[in-house]
Amino acid sequence: MKHVALFIILLGLWLLLTLNLRTANMLAGITAALVTTLFFGRYFVTGIRKFLEPMRYLWLLVFLVIFIWECLKANFDVAYRVIHPKMPIRPGIIKVKLDLKSDFAKVMLANSITMTPGTLSVDLIGDILYVHWIYVRTSDPEKYSEFITSKFEKYIKRIFD
Amino acid sequence: MNEILFKVLLTIGVVFNLFGCIGLLRLPDVYNRLQAATKCVTLGTCSILLSLIFRFGFTEAGIKALLGIPLLFFAATVAAHALVRGSYHFGVKMGDQSVIDEYADHKQESSQKEPKED
- Please provide residue A93's backbone torsions phi and psi, each rounded to the nearest 5 degrees: -110, 125
Q: Which amino acid is at A148?
A: I
In terms of domains, do A75 and A145 share one? yes
At A132 the pLDDT is 85
In terms of domains, do A67 and A144 share one? yes
Structural domain count, chain A: 2
Shortest alpha-carbon distance between residue A79 and chain B (Å): 6
Contact of B102 with A93, CB cutoff 8 Å: yes
pLDDT tens for each residue of B13-48? 999 999 888 888 888 888 888 888 888 888 889 999
**Mean pLDDT, rounded, for A84-111:** 83
- ipTM surpasses 0.85: no
Q: Any chain B CB within 8 A of the CB of A94?
A: yes
In terms of domains, do A79 and A133 share one? yes
Average pLDDT, chain B: 83
Residues of A in contact with B80 (CB under 8 A): 114, 120
Whole-angstrom Cα distance, residue B61 to residue B53? Answer: 8
Whole-angstrom Cα distance, residue A69 to residue A83? Answer: 21
pLDDT tens for each residue of B75-84? 888 898 899 8
Chain A to chain B Cβ contacts (< 8 Å): 121
- Asked if B100's CB is within 8 angstroms of A134's CB, the reply is no
- Does some domain include residue A49? no
Residue ranges making up the domain that contains A31: 2-44
Whole-angstrom Cα distance, residue B39 to residue A76? Answer: 10
pLDDT reading at A20 higher than 70: yes
pLDDT tens for each residue of A49-88? 777 778 888 888 888 898 888 888 888 888 888 888 887 8
In terms of domains, do A35 and A65 share one? no
**Mean pLDDT, rounded, for B97-105:** 75
Q: What domains are defined for chain B?
A: 2-93 (1.10.287)
At A31 the pLDDT is 93
Residue A133 bridge partners (DSSP): A92, A119
Could you tell me how far CA A130 lies from the centroid of its own chain?
A: 15
Whole-angstrom Cα distance, residue A142 to residue B104? Answer: 19
In terms of domains, do A85 and A121 share one? yes
